[in-house]
Amino acid sequence: MNILDKFSLKGKVALVTGASYGIGFAIASAYAQAGATVVFNDVNQELVDKGLASYRELGIEARGYVCDVTDESAVMAMVERIGNEAGPIDILVNNAGIIRRVPMTEMSAGEFRKVIDVDLTAPFIVAKAVIPGMIERGHGKIINICSMMSELGRETVSAYAAAKGGLKMLTRNICSEYGGYNIQCNGIGPGYIATPQTAPLREPQPDGSRHPFDQFIVAKTPAARWGTVEDLTGPAVFLASEASDFVNGQILYVDGGILAYIGKQP
């Protein structure tokens, strides 16, 4: 076999949650380019329609489903429908997530639970829904979108860091429990990625200087720049392909080197 053939996703069905835009959209689009049939979900029809239009602009015939990934019965129904309409799910990317930037002492327990529910409980629910079919077919790839906050803490993100730290361990436990069925479960930990959501943190100040957070991130990153969604697509294809068949329970941090770097001496 040609080594490049190991990275092909031809004939595979990939479910990427929350992939109407952003990181999920970039990963799903890369999977389509690698040969996969792409299916995705979002929480309402408006977002699904927006995603479908964006895929069509790239010439990708994706399938979109309205589904709240925190609702177990809805997820089970979606997975069954995908199986009937597109085929059994070979690749799952748990991408859907939220963040609440609130100091811990000002965050309600309800707000904390909401972040945990979307960022940790939902990946458990969706993985639980697809694993039986993967066991039956003797193969499967699960990729959880973790974070640098799976390793580090920072002000105002207590719930997000708790969820992403838990997602790291859920990733390792799925590997431990189902690796013997030829199911590989790994994570991707993005660094600071330039997306529309982070654009306000990169806008020049009125005096023309860089935003303080922009300066902070660039100074902490050996690559000296923000990441792009394209930086995540190669690792995502690798972890979804046969090229990673003996890689299991790992978190691949795509962060430009932040986690390896102590920072410059003042």
3-state secondary structure of 145: strand
> What's the first-to-final CA gap in the chain, in angstroms?
52
Query: From the CB of residue 34, how many other CB atoms can be counted at a distance below 10 Å?
Result: 18
How does 102-129 read in b/e, with b if 16+ C-beta sit within 10 Å? beeeebeeeebeebbbbbbbbbbbbbeb
Among 31, 55, 65, 160, the active-site one is 160
Q: Which helix (H) or strand (E) holds 131?
A: helix 122-137
> Is residue 160 among the annotated active site residues?
yes
Q: How many Å apart are CA 158 and CA 148, to the nearest integer?
A: 13
DSSP label of 156:
T
Please identify every residue annotated as catalytic. Answer: 160
